[in-house]
Structure 1
Amino acid sequence: MSDLQKAWAKNRLGTMPAETWEEEETDSVPEMSEHFDDDSSSASSASSASSTGTIIPSPSQNLFARPQGVPRGRTFHPIPWTTYFERELFLHDETSPQSPRTHAYLTSPVGQGPLFVMHHGGGSSGLSFAVVGDQIRKRLPSAGVFSLDARGHGSTTIPEGQTVDLSLETLAADLFTAIQLTRREMKWAELPPIILVGHSMGGAVVTELARSGRLGNAVLGYAVLDVVEGSAIDALQHMHTYLSTRPTGFQTLETGIEWHTRSRTIRNSISARTSVPSLLSLEEKSGDTRPWKWRTDLAATKPYWENWFVGLSGKFLAARGGKLLLLAGTDRLDTELTIGQMQGKYNLQVFPEAGHFIHEDLPEKTAISLVDFYRRNDRSALVLPPKVSELLRRGEKV
């Protein structure tokens, strides 16, 4: 601390004991906790408080240290999946040799708590839902979270020599099988109450599974994040332009995370530090200065794009169970969903401050919406009147 700073502080804090403010001089900023949860805009710009260096006299911190707003030093350091999930699973149906070896993350529900089953969008992975799953459990400690890597994504693998089939029907069947294999793996007597949650491509997958009815009464409802049929199909013509702007690789994992936050693809640095490492794999080749490559070739998924989204709005409205649609803007609504919303056929919530990855940009707000959605559809909270036969058996008047 300079003599000028000490003189200024003594003048302002004249009656304060010297040991309160005369700390050891240092230029370092304390490292933030790994669990710091910034808001949707912190990835691209600091808050007004952190940028002005507000002075906060305290016995426990330097008088002239900046407030601990934006994490410094290891901002782009990856956060491991163990921070958010109890275990990882590798699920394979032994009766079907051609089925994938599905990689998934799980935190089991407690007691009669619900299981939030998550399905990511194209090019993402199961860790896309890590931070929002953690936020769900903070508000509903009995809840479980199951999030898988779809075939062709993350650490899920298919038999060697087999073509990656990303058709909607195949992805929905994979999700159903993974849920059943998890039930067997965890030795659950029956499936817990399920809330299906899907982002983008995953929204089409969970809608398809809900419409099929294969999970029976276990499904309380399903939530679709930032995808509707009309706008999705319109956006497909711009996909090649978007893909051409992406780097083909990165020097390190940290630079990959930094690109996602700087480009505002993911606007929450904690989410990016958690999910981005699972999107990249190291492919070391002589002379390649960017050895970290994309695990999923999004351009190669083009043959399935229309299959994912055509008819999505009708399926979403027709399937049984509670329905929730979370969007980043009302302009994304197509005609069919606009009419359905006016008729009260589903719940709609809009987060205009988020980008396409709503659940990663705003994990806390998304978690609040999902927990509220579960509570509105929780059948265990219903108290049904006794049946007439039960009243007669007890000798009561009808």
Structure 2
Amino acid sequence: MEFNELDEDRESAGGGGGGGGGFMPDDDDSSSASSVSSTGTVIPSPARALFARPRGFPGGRSLDPIPWTTYFERELFLPSETDPGTIHHAYLTSPVAAGPLFVMHHGAGSSGLSFAVLSAEIRKRLPTAGILAPDARGHGSTATTDPDLSLATLAADLRAVILLTQTAMAWPALPPIILVGHSLGGAVVTDLACAGTLGPPLLGYAVLDVVEGSAMDALQSMQTYLSTRPKGFASLRDGIEWHVRSRTLRNSVSARTSVPALLVERGGDGDDDSAGAGAAARRCRWRTDLAATQPFWEGWFVGLSGKFLRGKGGKLLLLAGTDRLDTELTIGQMQGKYALQVFPEAGHFIHEDLPEKTAVALVDFYRRNDRSALVLPPKVSELLAQGKRV
């Protein structure tokens, strides 16, 4: 097992809103707040410092990429113990002392860097927290010869990455774990949590903007979306700009960190550029072929709501609007089976659009489920042994 570690301290980067980017449209989706009507739903009040940006990087209208080293302590390359053709890649900041480990799983087409800015915001509020953000197979820098992206495989991969990280870092035991998954990642962490294979270290799991009903509906238009998306970009900066202009990502600081991992630069290293201006105009292509994952789409989300409600441990659902709730989750929420927060000003990438508010929700969720904070009354046998009357 190998890892690259930084010797120097890294500046943490905050972020919310549109700090650092001049391409943010003036319109917003605040009108969607009228859809927030579920019983017990928490609508966070506006937070301060949403427009902070990483220190040491160009501000203003800059769309230059921000390196992963700004947010994470090291990257890990973890050879699979069951699949010789797979080397898992993950970004890690280790927990301190008895701090928790937030294990993040990204959505389809994204990478572990989707959680970069969020990780900094979590550690601002909980300095002992660790963050583990792997790239799923077929995404980011994870290398594999197996194209299987079924839910069972992805959940097994996530468990393997957690255990391989424990071995690589020589942790005597797993720290307390909070699983966090966005979109497809929400289905993965729910499947892993429901299986119960992580045992007592798992305190709970949080799912970001995905529920079974709306996810299944969205799959019907997925091919249409992919056909209208640019096939590539002339540069990484152009790719970042498109994500912000199209409001795919509404936080330019996060886009500058996460988008470069979604693209592969071609040309200049022996690649054939003879295709002419068309190829040159699309020098940066998508790293993950989302259209090729279609055979797995339905299997990712079928039964998600039921599994989410059945799993052991604390449960948190963060949504961009309660219109995304399906019937099963609406009933479960009214019965108090999980915590729900709604951020109507965010898009689908809640954790990238509003990393500060998402961090507040996740840290509060951890604290509510932190077993070390429980103070249990003494047992009767202990009191008798001490000679006390009961």
Fold similarity call, TM over 0.5: yes
Match of 1:243, SS state, is: helix
Q: What is the distance in 1 between the residues matched to 2:146 and 2:165? A: 25
- Given candidates 334, 337, 343, the residue that maps to 2:329 is 337
The CA deviation string for residues 214-251 of structure 1, in whole angstroms up to 9 with x for no partner, is 00011111000000000000000100111111111111
**Which residue does 1:44 correspond to in 2?**
24
**Which residue does 1:192 correspond to in 2?**
175
8 Å Cα contact 1:114/1:193 also seen in 2: yes
Q: TM-score, normalised by structure 1?
A: 0.82
Write out aligned runs for 1:133-148 (5 A). Answer: 133-148=119-134
**Which residue does 1:231 correspond to in 2?**
214
Kindly provide the amino acid, as one letter, of the partner of residue 204 in structure 1. A
**Which residue does 1:328 correspond to in 2?**
320
Q: What is the distance in 1 between the residues matched to 2:165 and 2:379? A: 36
8 Å Cα contact 2:14/2:52 also seen in 1: no
> By how many angstroms is 1:99 displaced?
5.6
> By how many angstroms is 1:46 displaced?
6.2
- Given candidates 55, 68, 78, the residue that maps to 1:81 is 68
The CA deviation string for residues 170-209 of structure 1, in whole angstroms up to 9 with x for no partner, is 0000000100011111111111000000000000000000
Match of 2:375, SS state, is: coil
Q: What is the distance in 1 between the residues matched to 2:119 and 2:59? A: 25
Match of 1:216, SS state, is: coil
Identity rate, percent: 70
> By how many angstroms is 1:291 displaced?
1.3
Alpha carbons of 1:35 and 1:186: their partners in 2 closer, same or farther (altered >3 Å)? closer
* Bigger Cα Rg: 1
8 Å Cα contact 1:220/1:378 also seen in 2: yes
- Given candidates 115, 133, 139, the residue that maps to 2:101 is 115
- Given candidates 303, 308, 314, the residue that maps to 1:311 is 303
Kindly provide the amino acid, as one letter, of the partner of residue 75 in structure 1. S
8 Å Cα contact 1:120/1:202 also seen in 2: yes
Write out aligned runs for 1:208-223 (5 A). Answer: 208-223=191-206
> By how many angstroms is 1:387 displaced?
1.7
Kindly provide the amino acid, as one letter, of the partner of residue 68 in structure 2. W
- Given candidates 100, 111, 129, the residue that maps to 2:86 is 100
Alpha carbons of 1:385 and 1:34: their partners in 2 closer, same or farther (altered >3 Å)? closer
Verify: 1:346 aligned to 2:334, yes or no. Answer: no
> By how many angstroms is 1:38 displaced?
4.6
8 Å Cα contact 1:40/1:353 also seen in 2: no
Match of 1:106, SS state, is: strand
**Which residue does 2:378 correspond to in 1?**
386
> By how many angstroms is 1:74 displaced?
5.8
8 Å Cα contact 1:40/1:354 also seen in 2: no
8 Å Cα contact 2:64/2:237 also seen in 1: yes
Match of 1:214, SS state, is: coil
> By how many angstroms is 1:92 displaced?
1.4
Q: What is the distance in 1 between the residues matched to 2:146 and 2:132? A: 26
The CA deviation string for residues 65-89 of structure 1, in whole angstroms up to 9 with x for no partner, is xxx9997566110000000000000
Alpha carbons of 1:38 and 1:318: their partners in 2 closer, same or farther (altered >3 Å)? closer
**Which residue does 1:60 correspond to in 2?**
none
**Which residue does 2:31 correspond to in 1?**
none
Greater RCO, CA 8 A, separation 6+: 2
> By how many angstroms is 1:44 displaced?
1.7
Alpha carbons of 1:366 and 1:38: their partners in 2 closer, same or farther (altered >3 Å)? closer
Q: What is the distance in 2 between the residues matched to 1:303 and 1:110? A: 41
Q: What is the distance in 1 between the residues matched to 2:25 and 2:12? A: 19
8 Å Cα contact 1:40/1:362 also seen in 2: no
Match of 2:254, SS state, is: helix
Q: What is the distance in 1 between the residues matched to 2:328 and 2:183? A: 18
Structure 2 gap segments, 5+ residues each: 1-10, 28-50
Q: What is the distance in 2 between the residues matched to 1:73 and 1:325? A: 34
8 Å Cα contact 2:14/2:356 also seen in 1: no
Kindly provide the amino acid, as one letter, of the partner of residue 335 in structure 2. Q
8 Å Cα contact 1:249/1:293 also seen in 2: yes
Match of 1:217, SS state, is: coil
Match of 2:90, SS state, is: strand
> By how many angstroms is 1:40 displaced?
5.3
Match of 1:103, SS state, is: strand
Q: What is the distance in 2 between the residues matched to 1:90 and 1:34? A: 23
Q: What is the distance in 2 between the residues matched to 1:213 and 1:156? A: 25
Match of 1:76, SS state, is: coil
Match of 1:105, SS state, is: strand
8 Å Cα contact 1:34/1:79 also seen in 2: no
8 Å Cα contact 1:279/1:295 also seen in 2: yes
Alpha carbons of 1:119 and 1:38: their partners in 2 closer, same or farther (altered >3 Å)? closer
Q: What is the distance in 2 between the residues matched to 1:367 and 1:331? A: 23
Structure 1 gap segments, 5+ residues each: 1-32, 48-67
Verify: 1:176 aligned to 2:156, yes or no. Answer: no
8 Å Cα contact 1:195/1:219 also seen in 2: yes
Kindly provide the amino acid, as one letter, of the partner of residue 189 in structure 1. P
**Which residue does 1:57 correspond to in 2?**
none
The CA deviation string for residues 347-371 of structure 1, in whole angstroms up to 9 with x for no partner, is 0011111000000000000000000
